[in-house]
Amino acid sequence: MNFTAARRRMVQTQIVDRGVGDKLVLAAMRTIPRHAFLSQELWAEAYQDNPLPIGYGQTISQPYMVGLMTSLLELQGTEKILEIGTGSGYQAAVLGALAAEVHSVERIPELAASAQEKLVALHFNNITIHVGDGSLGWPEAAPYDGILVTAGAPVSPPGLPEQLKDGGRLVIPVGEHWRQILQVWIRGGDGFEIKEILPVVFVPLKGAQGWQDSD
């Protein structure tokens, strides 16, 4: 299979044609091998227009979601970014290609370890994976220029916007268990402008400020 051609097609038909125009995001997604973050049996499907299983009941997000959410951070290359929900590590790689420093938190240790291994193999040295409850953010490395949450939260966890720098952006799916609205929070001093982008479907954000296991 010609992965390079498949990636170019993916970016054009799934991302550009749906209105994402951030050239830096598009270039990163034409380069980063999504298949390398999946088990080999799924490589033939790696550039299709959907999420795919990565084990433990979790998924790698649809490429369009990765492109759209990343573009909403409006990265220039100098930023420190927090991702919540490392999963396969693919979104972290896209962020790592576009920002100066990336922290990514995953609650399932096995997924964190596998993502870490893949990112090292691809020579990303500006991404640190942490195991923990990302519904609390990652205060140790705060404040961030951007926070990207790749799981759906019942409400935006109160501690997250506080971990943004002034002018920083939080991109987060908020809503029901399997149906959310993608929101962008932009910090201006002690206040926040909140924009609603579109309806999305993400796996639940679990944890102290997310869904409980009993939900």
3-state secondary structure 69-111: HHHHCCCCCCCEEEEECCCCCHHHHHHHHHCCEEEEEECCHHH
| Nearest partner of 16 among 84, 77, 75, 63, judged by Cα | 63
Q: Binding of ligand SAM at residue 111 (CB under 6 A)?
A: yes
Among 68, 69, 96, 106, binds ligand SAM (CB under 6 A): 106
Q: What is the smallest separation between the CB atom of 103 and ligand SAM, expressed in angstroms?
A: 12
Site for ligand SAM, residues 23 to 62, rule: CB under 6 A = 58-61
The answer to the question of residue 146 lying near ligand SAM (CB under 6 A) is no
Q: Are strands 164-176 and 144-149 parallel, antiparallel or unpaired?
A: parallel
176 has which bridge partners? 179
206 binds ligand SAM (CB under 6 A): yes
108 lies in the site for ligand SAM, by CB under 6 A: yes
Pick the closer one to ligand SAM by CB: 161 or 210. 210
135 binds ligand SAM per the rule CB under 6 A: yes
11-26 burial: b if 16+ Cβ within 10 Å, else e:
beebbeeeebebeebb
Provide the mask over 64-93, with x wherever binding to ligand SAM is found by CB under 6 A and - wherever it is not.
--------------------xx-xx-xx--
**Euclidean distance between CA atoms 38 and 93, whole angstroms:** 13
Paired tokens of 79: 């930023």
| Total residues binding ligand SAM (CB under 6 A) | 26
The reply to whether 61 belongs to the active site is: yes
Structure tokens at 167: 């002018």
The strand pairing partners of 172, in sequence order, are 183
Where do contacts with ligand SAM occur on this chain (CB under 6 A)?
A: 58-61, 84-85, 87-88, 90-91, 105-108, 111, 133-135, 150-151, 202-203, 205-207, 210
Indicate which residues carry an active-site annotation.
Answer: 61
